[in-house]
Structure 1
Amino acid sequence: MGKVQVIFKKEEIKPGEMAGKTAVVFDVLFATTTITAALADGAVSVIPVLTGAQAREKAKTFKEPYVLAGEDQGKTLEGFHHPLRTFLQPVVKNKHLILSTTNGTVALQRSSQADHLYAASLLNNQAVARRLYEEHRHDTILLICSGTSGDFTMEDFFGAGSLMNELLKLGKWDMSDAARTALLFYRGIHQTSVELLRSTRIGQLLIELGMDPVEINFASQEGIFDTIPKYDPEEGQLKED
């Protein structure tokens, strides 16, 4: 029986202790949602980087077509595409997406020493759950909530609870108290997923910054993609597995 644990924010990730574990990173608003959608829309890969400067440096080494997308504290980086599906869907097919975000890509980088590393969102939780059950059901699995700027975020915890709910449909798991709490939170919410995402601090902030609510509606959809983004440590890329 595999063990499932939850990490509440990226600052709690201990890179030196990731070896031997399977990690699943959530940044529901929006990095892992964007990653899932980009690969579903035909991107060759997604390359998560820590900063806009690192993204530009990475781009200099690329000979294949690429797209730069990124934000810092919710604001689009100058010269980059906005890192949301509405903006990226028309341009990512058959290209590499070099992505810099405030939280999610940082969480992925900090988790990159895990034996297996996936990006999950509400969009693909069912597919990720199946993969975890088929290939990792005897592993220690870390469900990692990116959080934001050192704080816990409700939407990532909701995402972890959603995945835990899907895992339990497939078999039994040894859940930590945090994993069990995420599950109970997910099952106990009386709002729809879109209502919950809109009500979160990040959801409210993004709407105040002028984000089209359609983006949050999109991120709230559960199980619409079978895409499973998996990190390749040799290439530093997430690809559809």
Structure 2
Amino acid sequence: MMTVTRPKLHVILQKEAIMPELINKDKVAVVFDILLATTTIATLLHHGAKEVIPVMDGEEALKVAGSFEESATIIAGESEGLTIEGFVDPLPTILKYVAKGKTIILSTTNGTVAIRHVENAKKVFAASLINGHAVARKIALEHVDDSIILICAGTMKQFSLEDFYGAGYFIDELLRQNESWELTDSAKAALYLYRGNKENAASILKTSLTGQMLMQVDLEEDILYSATRGIVEVVPEFEDGKMSVKGEKTIDY
């Protein structure tokens, strides 16, 4: 009797745990940095940004910016939670008003670095609570035979509660549409965390390490926005060094 091998769905708990040899053209990678990089990326593209270029640090951001007209770009970024001098705050509640038609060069401590660490995967998507449903739908339809690796960016080289919760939400949405994947223990744990706290998204985000840091500097609005599930339909996909959307609708002003 033949054994049917099902594609696997696995969660990596923080970007430092990524093993490059496992991120190859046979895997689809989905990156989560709920507070705030992947939420910001989805928001920018939803509000009409031309593209978002995720970079490793501020130095690379300035180098990349040299290839574009200044009027066509916005350079946004933080390092260890502090806005990089001369850069725009990388907050979704701020950037959404200036994103339309722009190339956004984005540097963050965790999320953009995580994206770059998995750029050799077959496909790389950015997911968050605000667009997790849309990303799950795309993967359920187009990548049913692929193994999926969910990467939690983490916080300052530590496990991140909100990213793990976001991965659990994504898994729940994915399984609602297609149950083809075999879940590893880390994927099951994320799913169970989410299903046990479906109505507690804002609380989970606020009590996380990053959430507490944001609360201390009066950024509760960004936390509450980031805790809202399924409000954005864009699917940010990384290709040729940039995040963009392929055919999804964006809003207009």
Equivalent of 1:180, from 185, 188, 201? 188
Residue 18 of structure 1 corresponds to 23
How high is the TM-score relative to the length of structure 1? 0.96
Q: Who is 2:212 aligned against?
A: 204
Structure 1: which 5+ residue stretches go unaligned? none
Say which SS state the counterpart of residue 138 (structure 1) adopts.
coil
Tell me whether 1:28 sits opposite 2:34 in the alignment: yes
- Unmatched segments (≥5 aa) in structure 2: 1-5, 247-253
Stretch moving more, 64-73 or 160-169: 64-73
What amino acid is aligned across from residue 183 of structure 2 in structure 1? M
CA distances 1:182-208 after superposition (whole Å, capped 9, x unpaired): 100101127521111011111001211
Distance (Å, rounded) in 1 between the aligned partners of 2:40 and 2:218: 15
Correspondence for 2:99:
92
What CA deviation, in whole Å up to 9, does each residue of 1:55-113 have, x standing for no partner? 00000011471100000111111111100112211211101100000000000000100
Worse overlay, 154-163 or 63-72: 63-72
In 2, Cα distance between equivalents of 1:190 and 1:32: 20
In the TM superposition, residue 43 of structure 1 has moved relative to its aligned partner by: 0.4
CA shift, 1:21, in A, is 0.5
Give the aligned length. Answer: 238
Could you say what the CA RMSD is over the residues aligned between the two structures, in angstroms?
Answer: 1.2
- Secondary structure of 1:122's aligned partner: coil
**What is the percent sequence identity of the aligned residues?**
42
Structure 1 192/177 Cα, relative in aligned 2: closer, same or farther at 3 Å? same
> How much has 1:2 moved relative to structure 2?
3.0
1:70 and 2:69 aligned:
no
2:197 maps to 1:192:
no
SS at match of 1:181: helix
Per-residue deviation, 1:150: 1.5
Please state if 1:9 is matched with 2:14: yes
The structural deviation recorded for 1:29 is 0.3
Supply the distance in 1 between the matched residues of 2:207 and 2:131 (Cα, whole angstroms). 22
- State the TM-score, normalizing by the size of structure 2: 0.91
Structure 1 stretch displaced more, 188-197 or 139-148: 188-197
The structural deviation recorded for 1:178 is 0.6
Which runs of structure 2 are paired with 1:140-179 in the superposition (5 Å)? Answer: 140-172=147-179, 173-179=181-187
| Deviating more after overlay: 122-131 vs 56-65 | 56-65
